Structure 1
Amino acid sequence: MYHYEMLGDERFQQFCQALIAASFPNTQCLPTGQPDGGRDAFVLRWMREQQRLPALERELVIFQVKFIKKVNDSRSERDMIEQIARSEKAKLDKLKGRGAFKYYLITNLKGTAHPDAGSIDRVNKALSEALEVEAYCWWRDDLDRRLDNASGIKWSYPEILKATDLLEKLVAGQLGEEEERRRGAIRAYVTAQYEEDKELKFKQTDLRSTMTDLFVDLPMWPLSPWNTPPRFNLKRAIRAPTRHSWYAHELAIEPGRNTLAAASFFMHQTGYTNFENVVLEGAPGQGKSTITQFLCQALRMALLGKSQDLAAIQQGLRPSQLRIPFRVDLRDLAKWISGIDPFHAKQRALDEQEPRSLEGFLAGQIRFLSGGHSFNVSDLTAVARASHILLALDGFDEVAEIGLRQQLVTEISKGTNRLVAAGGYSVQAIVTSRPAAFAKSVRFPRETWAYFELLPLEQSQIDEYTTKWTKAKGLKDSEALALKQILEVKIKESHTQYLAKNPMQLTILLSLINSRGASLPEKRTAMYDAYMDTFFSRESEKSTVVRDNRELLIDIHRYLAWKLQTSAETGENGSIEHSALRTLLFSYLDREGENTSIVDALFNGIIERVGALVSRVQETYEFEVQPLREYFAARHLYETAPYPSDEQPLAGDKFDRFKALVRNPYWLNVARFYGGCFNKGEILTLVNELTELSRQEPYTWTSHPRSVALMLLGDWVFTQYQPAVRQIIAFITEYPQLRQLLANAEHGNSLWSSLPERSGRGEFVEVLWKRLFTTKLADEQRALANAIQQNTPIDERITRWKAGASMVSLAVWARIGSYLHLYEVASLRDLCLDHIRLNDEILKHLLMMSRYDLLENEAYFERAKSLLLDSMTNGGVGLEQGRFGRLAMIASLTWVSQYTIAQIDETDLPLKYVLERRFGSRFARTVEVIERQADTLAPEEREAAEAYRLFLDTQTSMLSTNLAPWSELVAAFRKAWGDCSAIDRIAFWGAGVRSKGATGSDVPLAEAPDLVEAARYIRLRSGAPMWWREQLLADQPQTERRRLLQLLLQWGTAKTLVKVLDVLDTTLNSLDLGQWDRLIRDYRSGQFGELTNLFELSKSDLTRVRQTSARLNLYLGLRLIPAQRFELAKAMAEMPLIGGGPEGPFALQTLVTQCREATRWKSALPKIETLYAGGASTLTRVDRDYSMPASVALRVSSAPEHYPLALVAFADAQLTAQAGTQAPKLVEVANEEAWFQP
């Protein structure tokens, strides 16, 4: 009945784990393809509640999966039993020591039922005897019967349902009494959307290709963790015991890759790796809609049994889990919610009985596309209960009206929750939108929606798409080769390279190369001009209507684009009904004095031949893609605008219109096209208009005018007149306003990318270099360096960096090198550093970049090792090929985060599996490299590597309750590398095991033969203030005093810390700066996010602390709840702080991150300014849910040099958004100023 052999070995194991979990809810499933110790899954039953067993005993049920490729081979059964008896006996003996008492073998073989003689009875008996535990086998029939009642699993493993109609198989028996009707409607709906989306359509290229012919997956990246929902936060994923581990695992990017493949990522989400609510952002023409179109179409192929189409898709893009896809244009949903029926050509009110909800719309869409099947919300709910669902919600940015956008956000969020609550298996919603910079401020809440960003095409994807495009065009091999050679040359030019990074623009670029060869325009608008010129020329050869009325047809397209763009901004869906289009054409011809008798010929030319319009809903028409509509609208506005004249001023001249466009966020992409229309004689006036805009309310204190200028500069708008380029560069680099642009690039949505040479790259970069070596602000240095890196090749960066060595201190110079991304890509030869200039600061940055390969030689190894063990906290997963050596091994073994996870994990898995689940295959490869290279190590380091391996193989339940594994590990590490901070961090975490029997040893840390035992003894004095007072007053070296203070900070109770405040203050201030820095650094290295052992002081105790030193305020502040930490930070801002110490950054970061309430800003802002002016810096990002009053935003934006860039970016975003919401609709401006009146 089920075809398990289609799954293959690993997929079959995962399938069996799903069946096991359905029968045993507490099942722990182990990763596939890794050593499992005789277990593919297990169930741990603690016997604490049963009187017959001691409290700590447990029962362990083991599951082992055996996949047989040749199920009809009679030898399989015998061989399987013998192989298990041989290979699993020793493993199971070890597991019996951990409580294993029952063993299940799961196989795809078919058992026989004869009493005693049949395979079922014989195997059960043979396994029980061989393995000496109670043993059972789940045969093929057992799997079949369990799967019969597990419909949800079938959706995740559709390969086993070998059928021509998977949809029918999957929902059979699941849709209630009305199953046949419901299934028929869904099948008709899916089929209709399948036929509609068969082709990747872009009519202007004269190209018709199937999805499989032309689709190329696109790169994307999750938006920054600080802009990600809390449940998707990587740091929280590390800290949390189990429930967030999927995030780190799923986003573990392969070495050498910087991105995720969008379609592949969404296609293969199952179980705990599933992002249920997603916003996929991308620039105009970036391919957002194509991604969702492909996802839906691939799912339809599988559901409808289109095996030939599905086979044409590369393996990695075929769906591994099936969902019923619903593809929705959000403009239609917006009309539905507002009470208009979007499925009729002529606008009419929605029937009052229709629910204005997401579910109501989906039911209506199914009725419409299925050809009139009866289907309602109750039917949809029944379908949701029986299936996995994908909601592809396309074009959120195309709904311009703010109120409607908010209604959409509310209804989609509520609707998806209702569908999930209906009892369905899962509902995934993917909303596509342009980034916030292109739309007004309403967004889906980041607490419940994960944001991903489509990135520019990578070279491999450009090559892949070009190859597919040439095949789809039917080019000969010689023609395809010539085209690729031209593209290879042109793509090295900065402006062409920029154009090729966007899928739609790459399509246009290839079309132009195919028709015009190497002669390509520079400007973005000019490229569209050339493209449409080529298109109309081609159509002129085919049609007398086009040939005779070419210019008129172009003008009509421009006018239509203006009308549809303005209607979209006012709440329409950007389309026009058949009769309305004809009426509009007649009116236009009449007003322009053209012959109205040709209206029918022109109408047919527009909708049939020219093809810029398409019919998505019968009897309605719209532009095929939004960027084309915006291009034509820009051309209409420019070509119909009068020239400005002092003698006879006219409203709505070219520059009036430009100012109106750039003020309105919805029209920003139109403004880009519009800016590209200006000719050489108009460019200086355009520069003046941008400069003047920056002096006008409400833009005076925003970056918006300069952001637009920089955006147009990147579009080659000013290159035709170089004096204008220089003026624009001077305008955008004015200080301190430049800091707003830098802040947006670092923390917000920047509209600029790398500049072409003729667009002022050299002048722009020169300003950045000068500022880089003069500013003393670390966040500004990093932002400047990132902007330089974006606009400068590596060789130039190295040369300029070395030239600036004498301008700053060695520490600052080394830091700048890191910000410029030199260490991660350059070799020592590239950097031309001699032994003298390769100081400890440089070494630290090389180590932070994991450039261990550069430091393995005799000249640097010992210094680098010493820094790694005593002055660094880095390490981690993902050793890159060719970069492994002794330093890399030390960094991997002493990486403290893995040891904190060992203490907090609750899965009872070996630590190795826990870390692999959290950090993916990169951690597994790191471990493999360490084991493989162990023989090349010195004896002591080989022993350390072996101790590490044994530690990883230990279950976390043992590691969190027993000192012995920690003592053995730390002893091996101390033997290899001696006492150092890196080993202290591990030992101090090990001292926190949950065990009443582990009392530790009363031995000073410096003399301890077992450091973990000594740290354990101290940890157990966490509530003994008198003991701590005595220790802190004792005469001892600073190193030992620091180690004690670290243990007190890590484990001390609130009562203890308060009672020793006086002596603690004195002791902390007795440390030299190096020991003080190390204390704070070592404590912080093992903490993730907010700690669970934070406490709250009484008001009187908090007042006492505020009156002590800055060091004590910082020390205790690390353990206090956020509100009290905020109070200490304010006090610290009034204290004299030692430059370069951790106090200033701590206070500044606390104030910046804790100003979430409006009442805090009045007291905090002056102190933030004081700390920042004093040299304190913070690279902290500001969450999107941050709250900043308009008065505060204005104060920050009016003096951006006085505040951290994180605040500058947020304040600028607040003021810019406020200005955008105040902007009138463009059609209102046009009417008020009489733009189009004769």
Structure 2
Amino acid sequence: MSMEFVLDRIGPNSFKVLVADLTRELTKLSLKVIDTGTLHFPADTPPTTVRWPSFLQGGVWTGHTVIDCLYVPKESRSSWTAAEFRAALAQRLDKEFQTRERARAVQDGDGFPPNPFDYRPPDYRPPDYSSGAAPPLPPEPSPVFTDYLVIATNLPASVISPPDCSRLLAEHAEALGLKGWKIWDLTTLTTMLAQAEPVRRKYLSEIAPDDVFSRLHEYDLGVTKPVLDLFMTQATNELDGEKYVRLSQAGDATAGKIPLSQVGVDLPVKGEAKMAARLIIEAADTASPFHRSGPVPNVLLLGGPGQGKSTIAQLIGQCYRTALLDGSLSPQRTSHALLVSLQKGLQEARIPRPRLRRWPVRVNLAEYVDWAARHHQSLITYIAEAATPFVEGMTGRKLRSWLKAWPWLLILDGFDEVASAHDRDTLMQQLRNFMNESESLGGDVFVLATTRPQGYAGEFSQHGYQSVELASLERQQAVDYGLKLAQARHSDDPEMRKKVSERINVAANDKFTARLMRSPLQVTIMSILLEARERVPRARYALFNGYYETIYARETTKKDSFRELLENRDRDIHELHNWLGLMLQVKSEQAGDLDASIPADDLRLKVVQRLRDEGYDQAKATKLAQQIIEALIERLVLIVPKRDREYGFEVRSIQEFFAARAIVSGSDTAVLHRMGQIIEPAHWRNTWLFAAGKAFSEREHIRRDIVTLLTDIDSRDLVRMLVSPGADLAFDLLDDEVANNVPVLQRLLFDRALELLKYPPDHDLRRRAPVLFQQAALADADYLAVKLDQAIAQAAGGTPAQVEAAHAVLRLAGQRATPLALKLRQRLRALERETDPSRLTGEAVTRRITDAWDRSLRDSHLSVPDDATAKAFLTQAMTSSTEEPLHWDYLDSCLSRPAVAAALARATLATAEIDAAMASKLRDLIRLWVQRKASGAGLLDDTDA
């Protein structure tokens, strides 16, 4: 079969680029390609000699050649006839004739500079220069008109009728001075693409027909047909393997899983009108060879716990698979119905079809890092091995041939789950190696990475990634998603669907429960809770706890073999969930051991050991343990099979919830000790907040002690004072509204959060400052409003770093119509007016900074080795850049020495009085070290789980 191409959906600019590239490849010349019908050249343009290949009717043209493109989009194509095309061509030629006549007339007249785009009006009079004004510029030389013309169009020969068009060109040839012409229709361009292999491969994914994936062997990609069939099989099987959403069974195994096509939605983005999936797909399309003029930024998708970043990545992957497989799966194939269903769901979600049909590859980063630690091999080798569940026989060699032949979308999911800084450095190096190899092969790879904002230190931003941060769901978005879930879960039960839908609307209109509907995971949990309850909890921990209790109670009502076991062994099952959550959270913090799963044998041994401790003999304990594990896997389904006979939680937030339950167990002293132990690392942030929520709701007598933990950690030493992890957590507790009903604790948390205005600002302050405004706007919050205004006023009159912190907060005051917001906007304008534009810059600032560092190190009274270490660190920090950052091993080697760390904190505080940017840079490095230090060791020995 001959090659086939679709050229009516790429747009006029891309069509012009394609024609230019084809001409360049086939003639080795860069001819003038236009789409305006203007056939002129600058006066000094030299002539060229074009030797046309035989399949383009041959011939040698010496002179000036123009290729005039006439592109017709798909939606307009049916309205074009041969007569209309000739009329359009005649109109262009007539316009050109008139242009040339006017140019000649002007040139032959009074010497007015010939400009075919800007002619002098008839009543023009020469200016009077007698007053001494500068004389006019000399006339420009006449432009050069074309000698040869090519008409290129994406219309077929049946529409343009080449013989008729040639006659029309012949009629205009003498008047236009044309020596020769050609007409390229769709058939001609198809022939050119077949001959120009580099151009064909470059643009194939955008100009091939819908069924290209079943016909790839016809396009001579340098990949054998058996290998191409392998990729077709993998895409089809992955389409099926990725068809369900996570947490879809939700404790009801008999209800079946929920297809992504039924509940997949696009999610809002901070500061953007476009939704996340649309924005990312359009960014990947912008990286098309048609549009790319330089490096195109890849995308980093940031989202908090349960906010839907992995689901968006899954949805985008499916979007690309449907685009690849569309037209290639016959209706008789079992996957065809799934394809149609996904297409319908994507259309309803208003997620666009990619123009550039990339090959999607999803990499679970925690699994990859664990694998790489054991095998010490490349990312592409892992991708080949990870394809095994979907296709047999995949190898790195086959992937490299495919990487060379077809554009890819590389999805790197879960960077936040790579908690070890050493593992992060290794991962980024492996990614650089992969991208370098792709570039050497001539590959086209667009990368989408996902991570939580907490603990992210700019690793991807250093390489030019565009950050896209998910926003909280608006009320109507949350309701719409909840209704989709109700429809999917209860499609055959109208009464239950109606009941849940009504309850979701009620919850969304209650100000206390509406704040627990800000993420897809929260809406999912709330939807499940509302199947059994009329009202839901009003706190985040209580929401997750109610979810677990609801699905557990539901299973105990079913009359089957598991009912008695679930009723009688409930304590064992609860404690097993808690222990597993904590164990996996500790395990995933360690370098080279990030995958949150446990071998089946280890899980069974844990259950057996617990039962033996309760007095069961080995045989009875072994039998009962197997029954308990079956109940966990088959009925509660929060713990799921993962890989190679291993088990783990399907959703990370659920794992963190159970880890928090384990932490808040035992004596109050033990609970406070554990919470103090994990208060700093970003890896434990969500677990810590769950634990605080549990303690605030169930152990009221230690609530003030928990708030005191925040103050204690920030006053432990100079490093913690500078980084203020306690103030950081105070923001999160305010956002969770754990103390809104306890004004004294709310004020303490608010005061603690405001401490961050004393130090150089970081990205998290800019991201979370709206929490301050929300709290200060609450009823009876005059104290908070006054404290916020005072803190900003103090910062605005402080060091350059404090002024920048005040700026960061004030810029986010927004357009709120409150007295406080109005006052803050006025303060921002005043601050901007007062900013000193003559502030020292360049070498003067550098000298002041280095002098301040010298004083700080002298005041620290360091030993000779520590002094050398601190000086080297500061020097490297000053010269480091986003392209060449300091590596973790070096950072850790310096800051693990207490005296050096304290001296560097002192130097940072001194820098804050001179230059905000340098102070923020130093603080970010120290903060990164604090947040990445592993701290979970010993927790398993210190809990009742």
TM-score per shorter chain, which class? 0.7 to 0.9
Asked if the contact 1:155/1:322 (under 8 Å) is kept, the reply is: no
Deviations 1:508-552 (A, max 9, x none): 2333344423x3322211111112111222222234143443343
Give the Cα–Cα distance (whole angstroms) in 2 for the partners of residues 43 and 293 of structure 1: 51
Deviations 1:57-107 (A, max 9, x none): x95724221428799999822321123212553257548955451443233
Deviation at 1:369, TM superposition (A): 2.6
SS of residue paired to 2:357:
coil
Which stretch has the larger CA shift, 626-635 or 62-71? 62-71
**Compared CA separation, residues 535 and 128, structure 1 to 2 (3 A):** farther
Match of 1:137 in 2: 183
SS of residue paired to 1:795:
coil
2:435 equivalent to 1:416: yes
Asked if the contact 2:663/2:674 (under 8 Å) is kept, the reply is: yes
Give the Cα–Cα distance (whole angstroms) in 2 for the partners of residues 156 and 550 of structure 1: 55
Deviation at 1:460, TM superposition (A): 5.6
Deviation at 1:693, TM superposition (A): 1.6
Give the Cα–Cα distance (whole angstroms) in 2 for the partners of residues 1156 and 381 of structure 1: 51
Asked if the contact 1:219/1:455 (under 8 Å) is kept, the reply is: yes
Asked if the contact 2:205/2:357 (under 8 Å) is kept, the reply is: yes
Listed as ranges, the matches of 1:588-987 within 5 Å are 588-591=610-613, 596=621, 597-639=623-665, 641-644=666-669, 653-678=670-695, 679-697=699-717, 698-719=719-740, 721-733=742-754, 738-740=757-759, 755-756=774-775, 762-772=782-792, 775-776=796-797, 784=806, 787=809, 794-797=816-819, 801=823, 814=826, 816=828
Deviation at 1:180, TM superposition (A): 2.7
SS of residue paired to 1:451:
strand
Which stretch has the larger CA shift, 479-488 or 82-91? 479-488
Give the Cα–Cα distance (whole angstroms) in 1 for the partners of residues 805 and 498 of structure 2: 42
Which stretch has the larger CA shift, 677-686 or 544-553? 544-553
Deviation at 1:334, TM superposition (A): 1.2
Give the Cα–Cα distance (whole angstroms) in 2 for the partners of residues 291 and 401 of structure 1: 25
Give the Cα–Cα distance (whole angstroms) in 1 for the partners of residues 98 and 902 of structure 2: 71
**Compared CA separation, residues 566 and 1160, structure 1 to 2 (3 A):** same
2:532 equivalent to 1:532: no
Deviation at 1:264, TM superposition (A): 3.9
**Compared CA separation, residues 797 and 586, structure 1 to 2 (3 A):** same
Deviations 1:717-752 (A, max 9, x none): 334543322333333345xx5433866555588795
Give the Cα–Cα distance (whole angstroms) in 1 for the partners of residues 929 and 43 of structure 2: 58
Deviation at 1:611, TM superposition (A): 0.8
Give the Cα–Cα distance (whole angstroms) in 2 for the partners of residues 70 and 637 of structure 1: 62
User: What letter is aligned with 2:340?
Assistant: Q
Give the Cα–Cα distance (whole angstroms) in 2 for the partners of residues 731 and 1141 of structure 1: 28
Give the Cα–Cα distance (whole angstroms) in 2 for the partners of residues 173 and 766 of structure 1: 70
User: What letter is aligned with 1:565?
Assistant: Q
**Compared CA separation, residues 470 and 1218, structure 1 to 2 (3 A):** same
2:209 equivalent to 1:161: yes
Deviation at 1:379, TM superposition (A): 1.8
Match of 1:512 in 2: 529
Asked if the contact 1:582/1:603 (under 8 Å) is kept, the reply is: yes
User: What letter is aligned with 1:151?
Assistant: R
Asked if the contact 2:365/2:415 (under 8 Å) is kept, the reply is: yes
1:211 to 257, 260, 279: 260
Give the root-mean-square deviation of aligned CA atoms: 4.3
Give the Cα–Cα distance (whole angstroms) in 2 for the partners of residues 742 and 75 of structure 1: 61
Asked if the contact 1:19/1:146 (under 8 Å) is kept, the reply is: no
SS of residue paired to 2:240:
helix
Give the Cα–Cα distance (whole angstroms) in 2 for the partners of residues 113 and 261 of structure 1: 36
Give the Cα–Cα distance (whole angstroms) in 2 for the partners of residues 792 and 397 of structure 1: 30
Match of 2:875 in 1: none
1:449 to 447, 457, 465: 465
TM-score, scaled to structure 2 = 0.75
**Compared CA separation, residues 486 and 741, structure 1 to 2 (3 A):** farther
SS of residue paired to 1:318:
coil
Deviation at 1:174, TM superposition (A): 3.7
User: What letter is aligned with 1:107?
Assistant: T
Match of 2:450 in 1: 432
Specify every segment of 5 or more residues in structure 1 that has no aligned partner in the other structure, as ranges.
Answer: 31-35, 53-57, 223-252, 341-354, 645-652, 805-812, 820-844, 846-1139, 1167-1181
Deviation at 1:1213, TM superposition (A): 2.4
**Compared CA separation, residues 1156 and 213, structure 1 to 2 (3 A):** farther
SS of residue paired to 1:64:
strand
Deviations 1:1060-1106 (A, max 9, x none): xxxxxxxxxxxxxxxxxxxxxxxxxxxxxxxxxxxxxxxxxxxxxxx
2:926 equivalent to 1:1215: yes
SS of residue paired to 1:701:
helix
Give the Cα–Cα distance (whole angstroms) in 2 for the partners of residues 814 and 690 of structure 1: 32
Listed as ranges, the matches of 1:33-182 within 5 Å are 37-38=36-37, 61-67=66-72, 76-87=81-92, 89-90=94-95, 94=99, 97=116, 99-101=144-146, 102-111=148-157, 118-119=163-164, 121-122=166-167, 125=170, 128=173, 133=178, 134-148=180-194, 149=197, 150-152=199-201, 155-157=204-206, 160-163=208-211, 166-174=212-220, 176=222, 179-182=224-227
Deviation at 1:776, TM superposition (A): 3.8
SS of residue paired to 1:634:
helix
**Compared CA separation, residues 66 and 1210, structure 1 to 2 (3 A):** closer
Match of 1:284 in 2: 305
Match of 1:330 in 2: 365
User: What letter is aligned with 1:1217?
Assistant: L
User: What letter is aligned with 1:217?
Assistant: D
Deviation at 1:563, TM superposition (A): 1.6
Listed as ranges, the matches of 1:230-245 within 5 Å are none
**Compared CA separation, residues 117 and 1211, structure 1 to 2 (3 A):** closer
User: What letter is aligned with 2:224?
Assistant: E
**Compared CA separation, residues 284 and 48, structure 1 to 2 (3 A):** same
Match of 2:128 in 1: none
Asked if the contact 1:393/1:432 (under 8 Å) is kept, the reply is: yes
SS of residue paired to 1:400:
coil
Match of 2:606 in 1: 584
User: What letter is aligned with 1:21?
Assistant: D
SS of residue paired to 2:229:
helix
Match of 2:381 in 1: 360
User: What letter is aligned with 1:717?
Assistant: V
Asked if the contact 1:491/1:500 (under 8 Å) is kept, the reply is: yes
Give the Cα–Cα distance (whole angstroms) in 1 for the partners of residues 97 and 904 of structure 2: 65
Which stretch has the larger CA shift, 485-494 or 495-504? 485-494
Give the Cα–Cα distance (whole angstroms) in 2 for the partners of residues 68 and 638 of structure 1: 64
**Compared CA separation, residues 1160 and 776, structure 1 to 2 (3 A):** closer
SS of residue paired to 2:518:
coil
Asked if the contact 1:3/1:162 (under 8 Å) is kept, the reply is: no
Give the Cα–Cα distance (whole angstroms) in 1 for the partners of residues 780 and 918 of structure 2: 29
Which stretch has the larger CA shift, 524-533 or 541-550? 541-550
Asked if the contact 2:461/2:467 (under 8 Å) is kept, the reply is: no
**Compared CA separation, residues 139 and 578, structure 1 to 2 (3 A):** same
Which stretch has the larger CA shift, 773-782 or 136-145? 773-782
**Compared CA separation, residues 311 and 449, structure 1 to 2 (3 A):** closer
Match of 1:470 in 2: 486
Give the Cα–Cα distance (whole angstroms) in 2 for the partners of residues 514 and 530 of structure 1: 12
Asked if the contact 1:384/1:419 (under 8 Å) is kept, the reply is: yes
**Compared CA separation, residues 764 and 130, structure 1 to 2 (3 A):** farther
User: What letter is aligned with 1:1235?
Assistant: D
2:589 equivalent to 1:569: yes
Between the two proteins, what is the percent identity of the paired residues? Answer: 20
SS of residue paired to 1:157:
helix
